Structure 1
Amino acid sequence: MTARRWAAALLLALSTLPLAQAGDTGLGPRAIWIWEGESYAMLEDDAAARTAIAFLKDKAIATAYVYADAYEGRNLIAAQPARYRTLIRRMHAAGLKVRALLGSGYLHTERYLLPGHRRAAQAMLQRVLDYNAAAAPDERFDGISLDIEPHILDAWSTRKMELLGDFLDMSDALMRQKNAVAPNLPMGPAIPFWYDGMSIEWKGKRKPMNEHVQDLYDTVALMDYRDHAAGADGIVSHARDELDYGAKTGKPVVIGVETMPNAIRKVSFHHLREGDMERELAETARAVGAAPSFGGFAIHHYGAYRRWLGID
């Protein structure tokens, strides 16, 4: 083959790469949380869905965590599943992966970890499992992302260990439920980076909370909310323990960053510019990108990210 023909063949091969690869930043895959209002808008408004898909592709985001529970008195995944089928089919056609996002400030799902609310947690998950079982392959969720955080509960200040134990009990029940019907569907929670500093005994084993969680789930999204990569209080340092343990267990860790405003400046990139965030993510990727457990980044969250960029 001549050099000219070889170059032409290479260009043809590159042009047929999947869209998600075409938008790769080289810094690992990216995901984004899309909460209640924005997700329901995408489900019910064709223009909102088109806008969101175009934005995600422009920002090289490969996976969207799309909310999949009740909102403002409606529960579309149960009552109108065709809306999810249409949206997920469109997102898949655009080269995106879609995970069901479960957990809601609107529903106060932090209570679901309490034993008295366990049935509500299981019903929430079952609706997604039932949806996937009834959907065509290109209409199914690619995974499940949970956001149920014990430290939001009022009792956290006085009952930390008990609530962490309840969270692990709930997690165990949910994973058993999921694995009984969909063992290949990855599921994992968002967890704060400081779980690695909390040792807890659960089922006869004492270890850091993050290790118990990583043992149970298929993956985790680490809420590594800092505005800088380096240093003892930076993104890299806070992710080390989880990445190291993920390498031992063979489970990925996605590093989450924040764009919402926060009174504590270091928690979010909101007070900085997009270029600043990209620089810090690049530095993080250089430091940990070779780790076998590095699963890329997740941005919190779609609406806040757009507003921060001055789009909305």
Structure 2
Amino acid sequence: MSRIGRWCLYSLLSVLPATAMAGASRAVWTWEAESYAMVRDPAVAQEAVRYLTSQGIDTVYLYADAYRGHNLIVEQPQLYRAFIERLHRQHMRVYALLGSSYLHTERYVLPAYRQQAQDMFRRVVQYNAAVPAQARFDGASLDIEPHILDEWNDDTRERLLAGFLDMGAALMAIKREHHASTLTVSPAIPFWLDGIELTWHGVTKPVSEHVIDVFDEVALMDYRHKVEGRDSILSHAASEIAYANRVGKKVVIGLEVSPNELEKITFDQVGPKALQQALRTVEAALREDPSFAGFAIHHYRTYRRWVERFGDTGAPPEKGAD
């Protein structure tokens, strides 16, 4: 098909309603308080599942580590078992979300905190080994971001990124040690890692490529609301999608709906209608790429409030409207 023909096809697909085309997978990050509430309270769980399915969400990144003095996956694993089984009955996937501002897990890339990172991951692997298949996590979503460390700067970033890769290699070794082949391990990474060259284990390449090599999948924090052209969702995902195509890995496109001072990184102001249009356009552009594995939205609590704020139309009010 010619470039013009493909462009016309993409344009047509991007304006079709969601029901007119098979939708790509949609995940949502679900942080500490909301995850614990869903796991602890069956009524909250039931309402959350109803809402998620109504929004076309088929994958939940469910927090699965310590929070406010408790670690429910250790103390009450039967609660996770019941909720995961509920999600699986609705044909939804569940990833254990590992990483937390509450625990300052950005430090886990440092050698002094490596054991804590391994213990965090091992608890999920051990949980999976102890429960029936229908109660197991389908994956682990890592949110360990070295760039938010106070010590991150131009002089330290290569060391910290190498620490991130070392941590990832250690976690993947635990996966192999426990024969946890069905657990898809997927870190969240910023799109700009493809602009940093790093020599790791004697190989020099963009950090994004090292990360894709180490893990099963990546969730690319592709935080823009512009879809095409320069500084857009598609432009920032291009190198990761292309590399993952070559090496047989998967890339999930992460999008933001939370408020931010930089309006270009989030759909907060442009609304749900714009997000749905963006999802259709990106999916149409990437649907033939074998590495494209759908979308992830950040995050559950903000997403619900955001949808409610825009109401039935899903669009911002027209200028001058009351």
TM-score (norm 1): 0.91
1:60 to 56, 63, 66: 56
**Which residue number in structure 1 is paired with residue 156 of structure 2?**
159
Q: Is the CA contact (8 Å cut-off) linking 1:27 and 1:289 kept in structure 2? A: no
**Which residue number in structure 1 is paired with residue 86 of structure 2?**
90
How far is 1:183 from its partner? 2.5
Aligned residue for 2:29, secondary structure, equals strand
1:216 to 214, 217, 225: 214
* CA offsets 1:205-246 (integer angstroms, 9 cap, x no match): 000000000000000000000011111100000001000011
* CA offsets 1:75-106 (integer angstroms, 9 cap, x no match): 00001001000100111111111111100010
**Which residue number in structure 2 is paired with residue 188 of structure 1?**
186
1:39 aligns with 2:40: no
- The residue identity in structure 2 corresponding to 1:86 is A
**Which residue number in structure 2 is paired with residue 243 of structure 1?**
241
Aligned residue for 1:240, secondary structure, equals helix
Q: Is the CA contact (8 Å cut-off) linking 1:24 and 1:60 kept in structure 2? A: no
Q: Is the CA contact (8 Å cut-off) linking 2:138 and 2:182 kept in structure 1? A: no
Aligned residue for 1:246, secondary structure, equals helix
**Which residue number in structure 1 is paired with residue 263 of structure 2?**
265
Higher mean displacement: 172-181 or 253-262: 172-181
Identity of aligned residues (%): 50
Map of 1:270-285 to 2, 5 A cutoff?
270-285=268-283
Q: Is the CA contact (8 Å cut-off) linking 2:224 and 2:265 kept in structure 1? A: yes
Task: Tell me, in whole angstroms, the C-alpha distance in 1 between the residues paired with 2:21 and 2:29.
Answer: 19
How far is 1:61 from its partner? 1.1
How far is 1:128 from its partner? 0.4
Q: Which runs of 5+ in 1 are unaligned?
A: 1-21
**Which residue number in structure 2 is paired with residue 306 of structure 1?**
304
- The residue identity in structure 2 corresponding to 1:238 is H
Task: Tell me, in whole angstroms, the C-alpha distance in 2 between the residues paired with 1:80 and 1:100.
Answer: 15
How far is 1:186 from its partner? 1.1
Aligned residue for 1:72, secondary structure, equals coil
**Which residue number in structure 2 is paired with residue 11 of structure 1?**
none
How far is 1:25 from its partner? 6.1
1:139 aligns with 2:161: no
- The residue identity in structure 1 corresponding to 2:51 is F
Aligned residue for 1:155, secondary structure, equals coil
- The residue identity in structure 1 corresponding to 2:101 is G
Q: Is the CA contact (8 Å cut-off) linking 1:222 and 1:256 kept in structure 2? A: yes
Aligned residue for 2:23, secondary structure, equals coil
1:50 aligns with 2:46: yes
Query: How many aligned residue pairs are there?
Result: 291
1:73 to 69, 74, 77: 69
- The residue identity in structure 1 corresponding to 2:158 is M
Task: Tell me, in whole angstroms, the C-alpha distance in 2 between the residues paired with 1:210 and 1:308.
Answer: 31
1:169 aligns with 2:166: yes
Q: Which runs of 5+ in 2 are unaligned?
A: 1-17, 312-322
* CA offsets 1:99-129 (integer angstroms, 9 cap, x no match): 1110001000000110000000000001101
After the TM superposition, which parts of structure 1 deviate over 3 Å for at least 4 consecutive aligned residues? 22-25
Task: Tell me, in whole angstroms, the C-alpha distance in 2 between the residues paired with 1:118 and 1:175.
Answer: 13
1:226 to 224, 227, 230: 224
